[in-house]
């Protein structure tokens, strides 16, 4: 049986699922559906079974998400595998090519599956079955994409027009179709020879490389140089930023797939969604007889065709007499929209960004390689944070120019260095960190440390950090 190298595409940061999805913590890393993130679900989905063999995955992500990727793979006890870091997002064509070249370097006959990490597939077993169908064609030199049988006239997906004369498990592609109007979507649904474009591709490395050489030779050369000049960074592979900056921003569809003569389609009809907006999320959630979908801590009274979601255990959302409404609450932001405007959330986010509202991009919980922190209260001269430090993790040895800090441990035991003095503090104890002092907090135990940090000063920004030592190679 031929094995497959999974390529997990995790570098995007869509805004249609704001306020849950933000640049600092996009939707693929959130628990949008279920107790695991979409990224974790993909990693587990692309794990060997009786039906298919997967090799160690390659993850392509943005540099700023590198520690999130590591942490989430550790949580599900998956080997990290190679993690390619993009200096900046350039869409799917450069990302997929970088992973392809890396796999090809190790094995000239490698077979890769490139899959976005923000999709939802209900039936993993069925998915593995169709991968096997695709494999039989791939070894003949075909590039395979997977088309989803449409169940309603969706306007948020691209479509694949199929050859009416072909049938069976593998069909010929006529052309890619852009996201249609509602009337066009209804027409295509009635015609029956159109599938949703899943954006999932199966191919041999040598076939995709040849396609890039033919259709995008300049992009091929640039990505090749960026990989050749890459540098290792802990367990990451950091692409050369100067080379990468020259890449044009282009999807794999536009760059290669719409031009390739050896591309075929495997239809798939077992529960797929790209979770592109809140309406798509609603369709995947449990819905009652009145069309109401709601999360834990959400209550609906006399509502119909409505989505109510609370993304915090401390927050309750109540809907009264609502119809055709989407309401999503976060600790720092609330979205209320008519369901017909779900695909326009990104436009609202863009307008908020123009007003310099940082809640557009910054997630309330900020993830760091050592753990995370949440801002509980903030003013111009003081700030209160809840800080979580993982087992055997340590903050950098650092100092601040504009603020002092007071740490109160509420759970666990921490080792604190302030200048030349080392102190151990436990639950209920506190310590003061004077302005300008060199300091570090370490968790040397097997249990997490939780502390409350009170910052006082003339400037409280995260860039007021001078690092002297760091376990995670941060500047």
Helix, coil or strand: residue 173 = strand
Q: 326, 336 in Cβ contact below 8 A?
A: yes
Nearest residue to 282 via CA among 298, 301, 260: 298
Q: Are residues 219 and 313 located together in one domain of the fold?
A: no
User: Per the domain annotation, does 41 fall within a domain?
Assistant: yes
Q: What is the pLDDT of residues 347-395, one digit of tens each?
A: 999 999 999 888 888 888 888 889 999 999 888 899 999 999 999 999 9
User: Per the domain annotation, does 363 fall within a domain?
Assistant: no
Looking at residues 337-345, what average pLDDT do you find? 94
Q: How many domains does the chain have?
A: 3
Instruction: Give residue 204's pLDDT band: very low, low, confident or very high (50, 70, 90).
Output: very high
Residues whose CB falls within 8 Å of the CB of residue 328, separated by 6 or more in sequence, listed in order? 19, 20, 278, 307, 309, 311, 334, 335
Q: Are residues 266 and 346 located together in one domain of the fold?
A: no
Domain boundary among 224, 256, 273: 273
Domain boundary among 324, 354, 384: 354
Looking at residues 416-438, what average pLDDT do you find? 96
User: Per the domain annotation, does 359 fall within a domain?
Assistant: no
Give the pairing type, strands 307-310 and 325-330: parallel
User: Per the domain annotation, does 360 fall within a domain?
Assistant: no
Rounded CA Rg of the chain: 24
Q: Are residues 187 and 90 located together in one domain of the fold?
A: yes
Least confident of 182-191, 217-226, 466-475: 466-475
Instruction: Give residue 263's pLDDT band: very low, low, confident or very high (50, 70, 90).
Output: very high
Cα first-last separation, the chain: 46
What average pLDDT does the chain have? 93
Q: Are residues 160 and 20 located together in one domain of the fold?
A: yes
Q: Are residues 331 and 411 located together in one domain of the fold?
A: no
What are the C-alpha distances in Å from 394 to residues 67, 197, 460? 14, 45, 21
CATH number at residue 420: 2.60.120.10
Q: Are residues 385 and 340 located together in one domain of the fold?
A: no
Tokens for 380? 């111009």
Burial 397-430 (b: 16+ CB within 10 A, else e): bbbbeebebebebeebebbbbbeeeeeebeeebe
Write down the pLDDT at residue 344: 93
Looking at residues 56-85, what average pLDDT do you find? 93
Q: Are residues 137 and 23 located together in one domain of the fold?
A: yes
Q: Are residues 387 and 428 located together in one domain of the fold?
A: yes
Question: At residue 322, does pLDDT exceed 90?
Answer: yes
Q: What is the pLDDT of residues 119-150, one digit of tens each?
A: 999 999 999 999 999 999 999 999 999 999 88
Q: Are residues 283 and 404 located together in one domain of the fold?
A: no
Q: What is the pLDDT of residues 172-194, one digit of tens each?
A: 888 898 889 999 999 999 998 89
Q: What is the pLDDT of residues 6-34, one digit of tens each?
A: 999 999 888 999 999 998 899 999 999 98
CATH number at residue 196: 3.90.550.10
C-alpha–C-alpha distance, residues 440 and 470, integer Å: 10
Sheet holding 371-378, edge to edge: 365-368, 371-378, 382-389, 449-457, 403-411, 430-433
Helix, coil or strand: residue 100 = helix
Q: Are residues 411 and 345 located together in one domain of the fold?
A: no
Cα four-point dihedral sign 350, 352, 356, 360: negative
Question: At residue 156, does pLDDT exceed 90?
Answer: no
Q: Are residues 147 and 268 located together in one domain of the fold?
A: yes
Domain boundary among 301, 322, 354: 354
Instruction: Give residue 319's pLDDT band: very low, low, confident or very high (50, 70, 90).
Output: very high
Query: What is the domain extent for residue 327?
Result: 278-354
User: Per the domain annotation, does 474 fall within a domain?
Assistant: no
User: Per the domain annotation, does 364 fall within a domain?
Assistant: no
Q: Are residues 258 and 289 located together in one domain of the fold?
A: no
């Amino acid at each position: 049986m031929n094995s497959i190298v999974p390529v997990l595409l995790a570098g995007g940061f869509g805004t249609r699922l704001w306020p849950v999805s933000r640049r600092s913590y996009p939707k693929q890393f959130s628990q949008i559906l279920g107790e695991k993130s979409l990224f974790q679900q993909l990693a587990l989905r692309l794990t060997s079974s009786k039906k298919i063999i997967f090799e160690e995955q390659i993850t392509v992500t943005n540099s700023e998400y590198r520690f999130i990727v590591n942490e989430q793979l550790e949580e599900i006890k998956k080997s990290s595998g190679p993690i390619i870091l993009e200096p900046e997002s350039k869409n799917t064509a450069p990302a997929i090519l970088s992973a392809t070249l890396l796999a090809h370097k190790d094995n000239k006959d490698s077979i890769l599956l490139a899959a976005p990490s923000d999709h939802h597939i209900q039936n993993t077993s069925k998915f593995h079955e169709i991968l096997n169908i695709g494999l039989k064609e791939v070894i003949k030199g075909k590039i395979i994409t997977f088309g989803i049988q449409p169940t309603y006239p969706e306007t948020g997906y691209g479509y694949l027009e199929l050859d009416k004369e072909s049938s069976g498990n593998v069909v010929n592609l006529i052309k890619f179709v852009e996201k249609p109007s509602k009337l066009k979507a209804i027409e295509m649904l009635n015609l029956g020879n159109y599938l949703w474009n899943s954006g999932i591709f199966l191919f041999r490395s040598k076939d995709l490389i040849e396609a890039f050489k033919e259709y995008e030779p300049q992009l091929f050369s640039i990505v090749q140089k960026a990989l050749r000049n890459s540098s290792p960074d802990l367990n990451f592979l950091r692409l050369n930023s100067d080379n990468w900056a020259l890449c044009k921003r282009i999807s794999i569809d536009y760059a290669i797939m719409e031009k390739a003569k050896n591309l075929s389609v495997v239809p798939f009809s077992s529960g797929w969604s790209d979770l592109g907006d809140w309406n798509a999320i609603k369709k995947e959630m449990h819905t009652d007889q009145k069309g109401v979908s709601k999360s834990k801590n959400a209550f609906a009274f006399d509502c119909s065709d409505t989505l109510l979601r609370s993304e915090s255990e401390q927050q309750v959302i109540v809907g009264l007499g609502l119809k055709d409404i989407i309401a999503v609450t976060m600790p720092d932001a609330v979205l209320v929209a008519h369901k017909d405007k779900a695909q326009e959330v990104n436009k609202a986010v863009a307008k908020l960004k123009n007003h310099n509202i940082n809640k557009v991009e910054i997630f309330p919980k900020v993830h760091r390689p050592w753990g995370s922190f949440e801002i509980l209260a903030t003013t111009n001269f003081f700030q209160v944070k809840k800080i979580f430090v993982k087992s055997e993790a340590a903050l950098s040895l650092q100092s601040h120019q504009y603020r002092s800090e007071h740490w109160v441990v509420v759970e666990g035991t921490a080792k604190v260095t302030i200048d030349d003095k080392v102190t151990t503090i436990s639950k209920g104890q506190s310590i003061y960190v004077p302005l300008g002092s060199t300091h570090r907090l370490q968790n040397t135990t097997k249990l997490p440390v939780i502390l409350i940090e009170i910052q006082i000063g003339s400037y409280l920004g995260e860039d007021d950090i001078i690092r002297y030592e760091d376990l995670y190679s941060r500047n």
